[in-house]
Amino acid sequence: MTHAFLPAGAGVGYKPRHYAEIMSDPGPVRWLEIHAENYMGDGGRPIAQLRHLSERFPVSVHGVGLSIGGEGRLDPDHLARLKHLCDWLNPASFSEHLAWSTHDGAFLNDLLPLPYTAATLTRVADHIDEVQEVLGRRMLLENPSSYLAFAESEMSETDFLRDIAARTGCGLLLDVNNVFVSATNLGLSARDYVAAFPMDRVGEIHLGGYDEEEDDHGAPLLIDSHGREVADPVWALLDDVLARTGPAPLLIEWDNDVPDWPTLAAEAGRARDALVRAGERAAA
Amino acid sequence: MTTQGLFRSALLDPSSDMPVTLTDGAGRPAGRRFSVYRNNVAVGLTEALIDGFPACHALLGDEMFRAMAGAFLRAHPPASPVMARFGEALPEFMDAAPQLSKMRWIGDVARLECALRQSYHAADGTPLSPEDLAAIPPEALGDTRFGLVPSVRVLLSDWPVLSIRRRALDPAAPQAQPGAEDVLILRPVYDPEPHLMTRGDLPFVESLRRGATLAEAAASAGDDYDPTRLLTLLMQSHALTAPES
C-alpha cells in the first residue's frame, strides 16, 4: 500500500530492535522515519523489514549523507542510491539537512555547519533543484543544530531557509529541538526564531533530546544527542510552533542509547497529546 | 584551502587549526565548540567500526580498538555515507600496523567480519526449493548446473580464523588450535552463518559458482570427494539456485 502523505500524528525514528513490537501494537505511533543510508544494501533483513513496515505505516525517508550544503557537487552515486530507494519504496516523504558532510571524497558522518551568504544560498538551492529533479519529488529541508557561528554569515537562518524554499519550491522540516539547541548555544531567542520561521512551508516537525555541556566561558553548550527524552523547554516551544502550524506530522528522534519500546512509545504518546491539544485550541 | 577543506582537515587532525572565522555567536573564537564536531566525527565513525567488527573489537579490547580506529579513520575516511561499507580497507590496515604485529591473524578476522556483513546485505536471490530439486530426474542430476545465491561468501585463511572469531564473541567456545581454516558463509534467511570447509569443498563451491555441472564440480574436488555433505548443507541453507532451463 502506498501512503501519499505523512499523517498529522506521532511518528518515531525506526530502530530494528523494535520491529516485532511495532508490528504487533504500535500504540500512539502512526508513521515511521528511517535513515536512508541504512537501507542501501541489496537485500536481506533491513530491506525485508522496511518492505513489511511500509505495507502498514506511512514511511518518511530521512537522508543524513547527501551533503546538500557541500562546496562540491552532489555525489552522483549517492543520489542514484537515494533514487533507487525512493523509487521502490515510494515513501510518504523525503527529507535532508541544511548541512554538509562530505568534502573531497571523504564522508565525515556528521551534520556540519555552513555560513549563510548569497553564495551558499545559490549553491544549496542548486543542489536542492538537482535532488528534486532526480528523485522526481519535493523534498523537505531541515534546520540544523548549531554549536558555533560564522563571521561571514550575512543573513539569519530563517531568512536563508525562506529564500531556499521560495527559490526551489522545497518544503521545510522544522526540528524544534534544533531551534532550542541553536538558540541557547548562540545566545538567540528560540521564540523569535519560531516567529520568523516560514511555517507555511513546514511538512514535518522533529523532536529529540539534548545533552548539556559548557563552552570555554562557562556558557551553556547544548549537544543535539538524540539520546534521551525531549526536554521540557522544547515541549513548551513545540506548543508555540503548533499554535502556528496546526497539527502536523511530529517525530520523536531517539538514535543513541535507544530505549525499550514502552519508553519510546510513551514519548510518542506525549507528542500525540501535544497534537491533540493543538487541534483543540485550533477548533476553539 | 576552502572553508570546508580547512574544516575537514581540522576535524580529522586535532593538531591542525580550525577555520578562524568560527565564533561562539558573541564574536569570540569558537574554541571548544568546534570540538563538538570533532568529537561527533571521531565517535560516530569509531562506533560504526565497532558495529561492523565486533570480534576485532573484542580481541583488541575497547581502548586499543578505539586507538586503532582513530588512526584508521584519519587515513581512510569513508568514501560513501553507507556505513555498512565503511571499513573494507580495515583488514589491510591492521595487517600493516606495527602495533598489531603480534596478532598477525587479526586482518583475517576483519576479512571474515567484512564477508559476513556483505552476506547480510546481499541481494536475496531465489533459492532452489525441495520441489524444484525433486522435479529433476535422478539420472539428470550430474548434468545439472545449479547456481549459488548472492549471499554466499568464501574466505580463505592461513589462520584458524573461524575459531578465533567464535572464541572472541563467546568465551565459552573452545580455544583456537593452530592451523588454516577456510570458511564458507551461507545465509539461510537473514543471518549469515560461517561454516568450516573441509578438503574438496572449495573447488566444489567455486566450480558451482562458475556454472559447472554437478558432475564437473564433484570431479574438480578430487576422486575421493563425496559432495553429499556439502550439497545437503547448501540445500538446507537455501544457498542453491535453480538450474537455468
For residue A65, what is the nearest residue in chain B, using CA coordinates? B81
> Under DSSP, is residue A100 helix (H, G, I), strand (E, B) or coil?
strand
* A91 Cβ contact list (under 8 Å, min separation 6): A54, A58, A59, A60, A61
Range of the domain at B193: 120-245
A103 to chain B, any CB pair closer than 8 A? The answer is yes
* A31 Cβ contact list (under 8 Å, min separation 6): A3, A6, A7, A9, A11, A57, A58, A59, A60, A92, A249
Percent of chain A's residues with pLDDT above 90: 97
Residue A260 belongs to some domain of the structure: yes
Q: Are residues B141 and B234 in the same domain?
A: yes
Residue A2 belongs to some domain of the structure: no
CB atoms near residue A276 (< 10 Å)? 13
Q: Are residues B169 and B75 in the same domain?
A: no
The answer to whether B161 and B105 have CB atoms below 8 angstroms apart is: yes
Residue A4 belongs to some domain of the structure: no
ipTM: 0.94
Q: Which residue has the cell 555498512?
A: B84
pLDDT above 90 (res A2): no
Assign residue B236 the CATH number of its domain.
Answer: 3.90.930.50
Residue B110 belongs to some domain of the structure: no
CA dihedral A136, A207, A157, B5 (to 10 degrees): -80
Min CA distance, A2 vs chain B (Å)? 23
A40 to chain B, any CB pair closer than 8 A? The answer is yes
Tell me which of B104, B136, B159 is where a domain ends: B104
Min CA distance, B58 vs chain A (Å)? 20
> Under DSSP, is residue A99 helix (H, G, I), strand (E, B) or coil?
coil
Assign residue A38 the CATH number of its domain.
Answer: 3.20.20.150
Count how many domains chain B has: 2
Q: Between A107, A151, A221, which is nearest B78 by CB?
A: A107
Strand boundaries in chain A, DSSP class E: 10-13, 29-35, 59-62, 93-97, 100-103, 106-112, 140-142, 149-150, 171-175, 202-208, 211-214, 220-223, 250-253
Over residues A28-51, the mean pLDDT reads 98
Q: Are residues B100 and B135 in the same domain?
A: no
Question: Which residue from B147, B150, B143, B159 is spatially nearest to B196, judged by alpha carbons?
Answer: B159
CB within 8 Å of chain B, chain A residues 127-166? 147-152
Label each residue of B13-34 as H, E or C. CCCCCCCCCEECCCCCECCCHH
Q: Are residues B90 and B125 in the same domain?
A: no
pLDDT above 70 (res A137): yes
Write out chain A residues lying below 8 Å of B11, CB-based.
108, 110, 112
Is the CB of A219 less than 8 angstroms away from the CB of B24? yes
Q: How far is B26 from B115, CA to CA, in rounded Å?
A: 50
Q: Rounded to 5 degrees, what are φ and ψ at A97?
A: -110, 150
Min CA distance, A100 vs chain B (Å)? 9
Q: Are residues B63 and B134 in the same domain?
A: no
Q: Are residues B231 and B196 in the same domain?
A: yes
Q: Rounded to 5 degrees, what are φ and ψ at A95?
A: -140, 160
Residue B195 host element (H or E): strand B193-196
Is the CB of B123 less than 8 angstroms away from the CB of A42? yes
What pLDDT sits at residue B245? 57
A282 to chain B, any CB pair closer than 8 A? The answer is no
Q: How confident is the model at residue A127 (pLDDT cuts 50, 70, 90)?
A: very high
Count how many domains chain A has: 1
pLDDT along chain B (245 residues), means of 10: 87 84 90 93 96 98 97 96 97 96 97 98 95 93 95 98 98 95 98 96 96 95 93 97 79
What pLDDT sits at residue A1? 58
What pLDDT sits at residue B2? 78
Q: Between A47, A81, A187, which is nearest B25 by CB?
A: A187
Q: Are residues B97 and B170 in the same domain?
A: no
Instruction: Tell the burial category of A262 from Cβ atoms under 10 Å away from its Cβ (0-12, 13-18, 19+).
Output: exposed
* A211 Cβ contact list (under 8 Å, min separation 6): A222, A223, A225, A227, A228
Write out chain A residues lying below 8 Å of B42, CB-based.
none
**A37, A38, A147, A185, best to mutate vs chain B, most B CBs in 10 Å:** A147
Q: Are residues B86 and B178 in the same domain?
A: no
For residue A114, what is the nearest residue in chain B, using CA coordinates? B4
Q: Are residues B209 and B96 in the same domain?
A: no
What pLDDT sits at residue A50? 98
The answer to whether A206 and A190 have CB atoms below 8 angstroms apart is: no
Residue B184 host element (H or E): strand B181-186
Q: Between B23, B27, B79, which is nearest A105 by CB?
A: B79
Residue A3 belongs to some domain of the structure: no
A136 Rama sector, left if φ>0, alpha if ψ -120 to 50, beta otherwise: left
Is the CB of A46 less than 8 angstroms away from the CB of B81? no
Q: Between B4, B31, B124, which is nearest A103 by CB?
A: B4
What pLDDT sits at residue B233? 97
For residue A99, what is the nearest residue in chain B, using CA coordinates? B4
Residue B217 belongs to some domain of the structure: yes
Q: Are residues B81 and B145 in the same domain?
A: no
Range of the domain at A132: 10-283
What pLDDT sits at residue A282? 84
Q: Which amino acid is at A115?
A: P
Min CA distance, B102 vs chain A (Å)? 31
Q: Are residues B145 and B244 in the same domain?
A: yes
Min CA distance, A78 vs chain B (Å)? 7
Write out chain A residues lying below 8 Å of B6, CB-based.
none
Tell me which of B41, B73, B104 is where a domain ends: B104
Residue B90 belongs to some domain of the structure: yes
Q: Are residues B60 and B95 in the same domain?
A: yes
Tell me the pLDDT of chain A averaged across its residues: 97
> Under DSSP, is residue A173 helix (H, G, I), strand (E, B) or coil?
strand
Write out chain A residues lying below 8 Å of B3, CB-based.
71, 115
